[in-house]
Amino acid sequence: MNVIRRKLGFIALAAGLFWGGAISISLAEEPDWQEITAKAEGQTLYWNAWGGSEKINDYIAWVGQQLDQQYSIRLTHVKVTDTADVVSRVLAEKTAGKDQNGSVDLVWINGENFASMKQHHLLFGPFTTSLPNYRYVDTEGKATTTVDFTIPVEGFEAPWGMAKFNFIYDSARISQAPSSLQELSEWSENHPGRFTYPAPPDYLGSTFLKQALIDITSENNALRSPLASQTQFDETTKPLWQFLDQLHPTLWRSGKQFPVSSSAQQQLLDDGEVDIHLSFNPGAASALIESGELPATVRTFTFKDGTIGNTHFVAIPYNSSHREAAMVAANFLMSPEAQARKQDPRYWGDDTVLAIDKLSAEDRSIFEAIELGIATLAPQDLGPTLLEPHPTWMEKIEREWLKRYGQ
Amino acid sequence: MAEALRPVVFLLSSRQNMARLSIITDCLSLKYVPAFTLLVFLGPLAAGLIGTILPAFGYFPALGSKDFSLLSWEHLIEHPALPEALYLTLLSGFIATALSLGLAIAFTAAWQGSPSFNRVRKLLAPILAIPHSALAIGFAFLLAPSGWLARLFSPGLTGWDTPPDIAIIHDPFAVSLILGLVIKETPYLLLMIIAASDQGQARQRLVLAQTLGYSPVAAWIKAVLPLIYRQIRLPIYAVLAFSLSVVDVALILGPTTPPTLPVLILRWFNDPDLSYRALASTAAAFQLVIVILSILAWYLLEQLVAQILCGWLSNGQRSFAEQTIRFFSRSFFQLLGSIFCGSLLVIVLWSFTRRWRYPDALPSEWSIQSWHSNLDTLLLSGCTTLITGIISALIAITLSVACLENEKRRGKTAGSGALWLLYLPLMVPQVSFLFGTQVIAIKLGIDGSWLALIWSHLLFVLPYVFLSLADPYRYQDERFVNIAHCLGASPWRAFWKIRLPLLLRPLLFALAIGFAVSVAQYLPTLFAGGGRFMTLTTEAVNLSASGNRRIISVYALLQGLFPLLVFSAAIGFSNFIFRHRRALSQP
Amino acid sequence: MTTNQRPGAVQIPEPLILQDLTLSLCSSGITKTLFKKFDLEIQPGEITTIMGPSGCGKSSLLSFISGTLAKDFNAVGRVCLGQRDITSSPPEQRHIGMLFQEDLLFPHLSVGENLGFGIPAAVRQKNQRKMLIEEALEEAGLSGYADQDPATLSGGQRARVAVMRTLLSRPSALLLDEPFSKLDSALRERFRTFIFEHARAHNLPTLLVTHDPEDARSAEGLILNMPFK
């Protein structure tokens, strides 16, 4: 621990020398970062974060230890099953006039939930630019750190990790993995009953539909803005339904039944009922081998023209009782130390939000030393990142899917 | 001063007056218990139904709709999933009920009085104690294409290197759903048949018929069944209503595209698009109509069968497919028993598994990780389950005892009208009134509180507790209490020192039943708990969609283990208390 | 309250008086009168016997006197102990001891606890209660049986415990509802003597209901035959 602390002290010192000028400018208008850390000391931080994965819970527990040691902040992980519940809780507090001392200090968030909290002024901010570690974020290379599902972030949430759509397959059964949507559907035709996707609104199932739509349609720009009309929807999505009508008879259970969730599909892969599973985390396959949930022969593949990617963030509700501690935590989550651990498949296996080339040589070497695992693709092999369509499209697509295939 | 006190002194000095006064107050307070119980119990039901039916006709102020209309009924009728979902619901409901009833009757007729029947009889309580959802989960793990059964015989016997692409679980014909229901409903109906034949003259009738030369099966079906059918009619209707409205088992085993109607309704209730609430409410009201019509249809069917069989009963034929019935009922029971045991065993195996790939017959790597890493959540949901179960069972017992004691003291028994009322929460589909109940709870400000949670469980715990306690209480030898009075014991002393201790065994049994019923509740926990409370059952059912068999198994196993432990504790405790009391040591 | 009534003191014996008793049974709207305007007085130490076939209302009469008559009966008349009208008193305040065909020992209590249940709560001291139980056991020829399970006793032993339990409750009168009919003939005679001796020793007005003429004879008192004319 001492070594880490000393190292961190060095990093802070180096960063301070290097970025000193920039900091002093921002300090003129924002409260002093030191003042914030001083205020944060001794605060108890309630962080509402999805609690469905053991690995992630362990990671958050580690964050808690670090915050305690480095900043004397006591972290409580409020385990959430659906982030939408947090949104309605903060909304309920606002309705009840509880504008201070809210029950949520920090929330793990992105996409629709962020859109609705931002729209209803339920968030504190902008605050991310005043966090010292924000300068390492790869805002140029990773566009999704500033635009969350087409909604501009504008400093209301701090990026925490990258997600990129990919496929997990069993290399014992598939020798040549498909590298495009077209190849995937051809493969399925040749191997009937061996591929499927979780029934929307499961988020991986929905993402598969979005991915397919983006690959098929020529009107990618239209998808970036809110859905305008039914006619626009019908015209844009027509090729998607044609594609699915063709694909479904070749799927598992002839497309008459779909796995109820993405984890159900993971079990199907493990049982050998299908050969392909979907994932949003490039390190998932390695991590699942590690935990014994998938066989050692699984590998990852993605589309060469790119797959949908997004970023997940942390945000601070407008009525947070411990705003300073929340800011310190958000800052810590973006630190090279926390990000490197997050990228390590032993602890989580998520791609970092930081730009490696902005880091000091020493921090860079931590990232380079991470063993990505046998089933993880190297960052350069992951392909381009495609942007998520506007949330309004997704809602409508899910409904239409249910109408056509779900009942 | 002395003058002023005189009436008081007079009152106090006259012990007899005092005693009279206390008796009057006692009776008065007890007198209101039945009314209070019905209010506690039917109030939320009625309010819930209203809260569901109003939105069904367009009255939904929260969504800005205050005009009565049939619009959402039109939406429902036109919904493309409705015909298929309705068909599946009726199919599974009727077949499961008929099959369970037929099996229970055939088994009793063929085997009653035999050693194997007595063995089965002893196992009924533990079987019933295990929640539907836990069994359904094990059932799925056992029979799925990649389930244990397929693993045991593959690829050697079946030649399946990979699991076959057949929908065995979630099959579109609802076969697995029907089987899953039959496994639990047959023991329940069997228990009801046994309870009914223990009273009245079932035994004498059977002996009489046999002395007239009727073979056992024919004797039972012709002489006993007509007598006891009347007594098991309500339980049958409850089973029919349950099968038509079941949600958790249908989620785990039922068809998915489309699912049965209750699952579809739940899906609409949970839709993020709030406009679907109106459709959900309408469908919930529709579901109630379906259940009422189905019970009516069953009743008419009964009458029809009775008409047809009337002549057959007295045609003098002394035997009736004796061997066939014996053989089939036994084989089917063995099959059900094996599925039951296999389901439990496979859950145990999975909960200690690290790697278990198809087609290995057993896990290749074992681990206690699934238990260890979920310890926090397990403890939390386990505690919630325990607290809710114990408290709601205790309240149910208190209310039942108070009602029954009132009956004893006032010298009347509730008629069959009251019995209907008791079964009401079991007959009305849960989805039809739980949403309305939730609205009421929010209005009262108790939504998501322990009060709401326990109250909602009480609606289902109370009927079962009352029904299991009523007979032992009503048939208790009154002379024990009378003699206690003659020995100078006040009504309350006789109640605490004689009546309750003598009823200790049925009381503990009722407690265990109440607990088991509470543990099994899925929808009430979901609705009244406002999502804040997780119990082993909500976790197990929610996780069943996740597909991680190791973790699901841990929850399902605990969920089944809890009621079993409470049952054993109840039996063990009464055996311990009465270990030196021979007259009470055996039930 | 002025009399120095120590706990455990024997109450002054008084006669049991029944006046103008009419008893009818109402079930499903039909009223059946069992007897009308019946009068009876039993002096302390006297044993009166009522004989009659089953269903004539003998047991119901006893239930009425003890205050435990089931609710579907309708009774008019008075029950007095000496000057004291107990007709509307609850059973526990009538001090009328009752013995049935079955011993009705509480199966969940030990022999000693069964006896203790009979001793009035006014006897507070533990030692004193214990002593009373010991004495009663000795009188019944069951010394040292206090901790036994009643289910392990023989029929005769249980019957004697039941008698002692009733006597320990200090009754002012004793009602016997065919208490001998379940015992075999040898035991029956001995037990009969046991009860009668104790009833007389305690100077209790006693009412015996039986259908056995032998019982009636050995009671050596007034014999009434039901149904009453």
Task: Dump pLDDT digits (tens) for A375-385.
Answer: 888 877 888 88
pLDDT of A406 > 80? The answer is no
CA distance A305 to chain B (A): 31
Do A and B touch, counting CB pairs below 8 Å (3 needed)?
Answer: yes
The answer, for A116 touching chain B at a CB cutoff of 8 Å, is no
Residue burial B388-417, b: 16+ Cβ < 10 Å; e: rest: bbbbbbbbbbebbbbbbbbbbbeeeebeee
Residues A258 and A322 in one domain: no
Q: What is the pLDDT of residues A294-314, one digit of tens each?
A: 999 999 999 999 999 989 999
Q: For chain B, give the mean pLDDT.
A: 84
Lowest mean pLDDT among A24-28, B530-534, C130-134: A24-28
Give me the domain span that covers residue A65.
2-162+310-377
Q: Tell how strand A307-315 and strand A298-301 pair up.
A: unpaired
pLDDT of C8 > 60? The answer is no
**What is the pLDDT, as a whole number, of residue B189?**
93
**What is the pLDDT, as a whole number, of residue B63?**
62
As a whole number, mean pLDDT of residues B322-328 equals 87
Q: Mention every residue, 6+ apart, whose C-beta is less than 8 A from residue A126.
A: A154, A155, A156
- Judged by CB atoms closer than 8 Å, whether chains meet at B547 and A268 is answered as yes
Number of domains in chain A: 2
Which residues of C, range 3-62, sit inside 8 Å of B by Cβ?
Answer: none
- Judged by CB atoms closer than 8 Å, whether chains meet at B354 and A292 is answered as yes
Residue B449: pLDDT band (50, 70, 90) is confident
Residues A218 and A287 in one domain: yes
Which architecture characterizes domain C16-82+90-95+171-225 according to CATH? 3-Layer(aba) Sandwich (3.40)
pLDDT of B546 > 80? The answer is no
Question: Which sequence spans correspond to the domains of chain B?
Answer: 27-54+371-587, 82-367
Name chain A's partners: 3 or more CB pairs within 8 A. B
Cα B473 from chain centre: 21
CA distance B577 to chain A (A): 44
| Closest-CA residue of chain C to B575 | C108
Nearest CB to A273 within list B85, B146, B172 = B146
Amino acid occupying residue A165:
F
Contact list, B367 vs chain A (CB under 8 Å) = 292
Residue B207: pLDDT band (50, 70, 90) is confident
Which one is predicted more confidently, A406 or B64? A406
Residue B274: pLDDT band (50, 70, 90) is low
CA distance B493 to chain C (A): 10
Which one is predicted more confidently, A161 or B319? A161
The answer, for A203 touching chain B at a CB cutoff of 8 Å, is no
Cis peptide before C120 (omega within 30 of 0): no
**What is the pLDDT, as a whole number, of residue B430?**
83
| Closest-CA residue of chain B to A193 | B165
Compute the distance between CA of residue B502 and CA of residue A309 in angstroms, rounded to an integer. Answer: 69
Residues A300 and A204 in one domain: yes
**What is the pLDDT, as a whole number, of residue A25?**
38
- Judged by CB atoms closer than 8 Å, whether chains meet at C107 and B498 is answered as no
pLDDT of A372 > 70? The answer is yes
As a whole number, mean pLDDT of residues B189-193 equals 90
Residues A366 and A289 in one domain: no
**What is the pLDDT, as a whole number, of residue B271?**
67
Contact list, B169 vs chain A (CB under 8 Å) = none
Residue B523: pLDDT band (50, 70, 90) is confident
Which one is predicted more confidently, B272 or C48? C48
Q: What is the pLDDT of residues C35-66, one digit of tens each?
A: 888 889 999 999 999 988 877 788 889 999 99
Q: What letter would DSSP give residue C117?
A: H
Residue A202: pLDDT band (50, 70, 90) is confident
As a whole number, mean pLDDT of residues B381-387 equals 93
The hierarchical CATH code for the domain B82-367 is 1.10.3720.10
Residues A172 and A72 in one domain: no
CA distance B138 to chain A (A): 15
Residue B195: pLDDT band (50, 70, 90) is confident
Q: What is the pLDDT of residues B396-415, one digit of tens each?
A: 999 999 988 888 887 665 55
- Judged by CB atoms closer than 8 Å, whether chains meet at C68 and B485 is answered as yes
Residues A77 and A9 in one domain: yes
Question: Which sequence spans correspond to the domains of chain C?
Answer: 16-82+90-95+171-225
Residue burial A324-338, b: 16+ Cβ < 10 Å; e: rest: bbbbbbbbbbbbbbb
Compute the distance between CA of residue B171 and CA of residue B176 in angstroms, rounded to an integer. Answer: 7
Residues A15 and A156 in one domain: yes
Picking from C99, C128, C132, C98, the residue whose alpha carbon sits closest to that of residue C115 is: C132
**What is the pLDDT, as a whole number, of residue C70?**
81
> Can B27-54+371-587 and B82-367 be said to share one CATH topology?
yes
CA distances to A46, A59, A315, B65, C61 from A49, rounded to whole Å, are 9, 12, 11, 36, 76
pLDDT of B14 > 70? The answer is no
**What is the pLDDT, as a whole number, of residue A24?**
36
Residues A388 and A241 in one domain: yes
Contact list, B501 vs chain C (CB under 8 Å) = 108
As a whole number, mean pLDDT of residues A243-268 equals 90
**What is the pLDDT, as a whole number, of residue B412?**
63
Cα B354 from chain centre: 34
Amino acid occupying residue A395:
E
Which one is predicted more confidently, B18 or C167? C167
Compute the distance between CA of residue B530 and CA of residue A353 in angstroms, rounded to an integer. Answer: 36
pLDDT of B98 > 90? The answer is yes
Percent of chain B having pLDDT more than 90?
30
Compute the distance between CA of residue C48 and CA of residue A246 in angstroms, rounded to an integer. Answer: 102
Q: What is the pLDDT of residues A142-155, one digit of tens each?
A: 888 999 988 899 99
For an interface test with B, which of A87, A116, A271 has the most B Cβ atoms less than 10 Å from its Cβ?
A: A271
**What is the pLDDT, as a whole number, of residue C155?**
87
**What is the pLDDT, as a whole number, of residue C3?**
35
Q: For chain C, give the mean pLDDT.
A: 86
**What is the pLDDT, as a whole number, of residue C7?**
41
Name chain C's partners: 3 or more CB pairs within 8 A. B
The owner of tokens 């081998």 is A289
Domain B27-54+371-587 belongs in CATH node 3.20.20.140? no
For position A171, which CATH number holds?
Answer: 3.40.190.10
**What is the pLDDT, as a whole number, of residue B49?**
87
Percent of chain C having pLDDT more than 70?
93
**What is the pLDDT, as a whole number, of residue C25?**
82
Nearest CB to B146 within list A272, A292, A293 = A272
